[in-house]
Amino acid sequence: MKATGIVVEYNPFHNGHLHHAREAKRKSGADVVIAVMSGQFLQRGEPAFVDKWARTEMALAGGIDLVIELPYVYATAQATDFAKGAMALLDAIGCESFCFGSEQGEIEPFLRSYQLLKEHSVEYEEKIREAVQTGISYPQALNRAYASLRGKNEEFADLTQPNNILGFHYIEAAKKSGSTMKPLTIQRIGANYHDPVTQGVSIASATGIRKVLFEGGSVDGLSPYMPPSSLKALQQCRTFGSWQQFYPLLRYAILREQPENIRQFAEVTEGIENLLYEAAKKAPTFDDFIGLIKSKRYTRTRLQRMLTHIYTGFTWEQLRSYQAPAYLRLLGMSGAGRNYLRLQKKNIGLPVISRAADLTDTMGMLDVHASTMYLLGLGTEQLKKEYTTPPFYFGDRDSK
């Protein structure tokens, strides 16, 4: 059996994701599609809109055969480490290829860009360093350095587009780790990343969908943009995760510390601790808070990642203690996914963990901890859900 891998958040799962899963399977010729999915906190440094179990259910109903959790430490990291963790898991589970959605839509420009930067790595690093010193954000500095190497040559990938950037990092991570997985990409169709929901278009961005629901819109109204299974899963949610909802706890966490101790949390850079503390004292809402701390130097995403780590109590010391993923946390499977696990057992390079109780290493225990923090922020009383929820088995789809 052949598998292709994709890296997802499904926040929440919509028609664009459905398209991605189908195209990945078609393009790779694989028998199963394996998704490495972020858990309760996401790469943009946000609590997930709905919990990972609901998102797993949507994924399986939408054509995914195996859902593997991307550990917190990678899921909340900047693109390089995010990609490193995701690629390591897809490689370990035996994928022959991986397939990402991109604005570019073709794989060759990415491969050329990778080659270009590899061959000019010293120059590239130097240009990044120079750009950072002008006070711009790190992603902007990468852009500037890349642009000056690429010039106007359109044979290279356009790395100013968010999905192109992630795709590039997947390729880089896979190549650097020596993985033999074949990189594939499909053209993203329909909405751009942050586009609002538009009438008459069957693909909306996840951001647009969340916005509708945060603003009190009905789940039913989203039926043009999501498969029925996603609508059903959303209908069962009483609250949706957001920084707005989590802010009272985050604010307390910040104000409880002596400012200098805030520095102990992962991604918090020296000098910002007093700003965070004073802003938390002033701001009654998360939007006010982020408005007070945003600057040219720190992107919102960067700040939100710090805040995620402050919220969960995750420190630099913990961050630095991690090496490589040591397990595959199975969140759900289709019938075909189950067969794959059985048949490929010998080719799977890491233990497949089905129960939270079996996560005994620090990385896995951190996933469980982050999950508890998430559930607490949501205001649910099911704080033991991590231990009481077995992997979701979705046999129906294959029983035709």
Ligand-binding site membership of 120 (annotated): no
* Contact flag: residue 202 with a second copy (CB under 8 A): no
List beta partners, residue 187. 102
B/e letters for 114-127, b = 16+ CB within 10 Å, e = fewer, are bebbeeeeeebeeb
Q: What are 199's two structure tokens?
A: 């009438």
In the bound state with a second copy, the residue whose beta carbon lies nearer, of 218 and 380, is 380
Ligand-binding site membership of 347 (annotated): no
List beta partners, residue 94. none
User: Radius of gyration of the chain from Cα atoms?
Assistant: 21
B/e letters for 364-392, b = 16+ CB within 10 Å, e = fewer, are bebbbbbbebbbebbeeeeeebbeebebb
Q: Are strands 328-334 and 66-70 parallel, antiparallel or unpaired?
A: antiparallel
Range in contact with a second copy (rule: CB under 8 A) among 61-69, 112-120, 197-205, 255-263: 255-263
Q: Is the dihedral of CA 357, 358, 359, 361 positive or negative?
A: positive
118, 256, 296, 345: which one binds a second copy (CB under 8 A) = 256
Ligand-binding site membership of 101 (annotated): yes
Residue 372 CB, nearest approach to a second copy (Å): 6
Range in contact with a second copy (rule: CB under 8 A) among 62-70, 232-240, 256-264, 294-302: 256-264
Residue 300 CB, nearest approach to a second copy (Å): 23
* Contact flag: residue 257 with a second copy (CB under 8 A): yes
Total of chain residues touching a second copy, rule CB under 8 A: 21
Task: Write the binding mask 301 to 320 for a second copy: x where contact by CB under 8 A, - elsewhere.
Answer: -----------xx-------
Q: What are 280's two structure tokens?
A: 């938390």
Residue 29 CB, nearest approach to a second copy (Å): 46
Ligand-binding site membership of 270 (annotated): no
Instruction: Restricting to residues 357-386, name those near a second copy by CB under 8 A.
Output: 369, 372-373, 376, 381, 383-384
**Chain positions contacting a second copy, by CB under 8 A:** 248-249, 251-253, 255-258, 281-282, 284, 312-313, 369, 372-373, 376, 381, 383-384
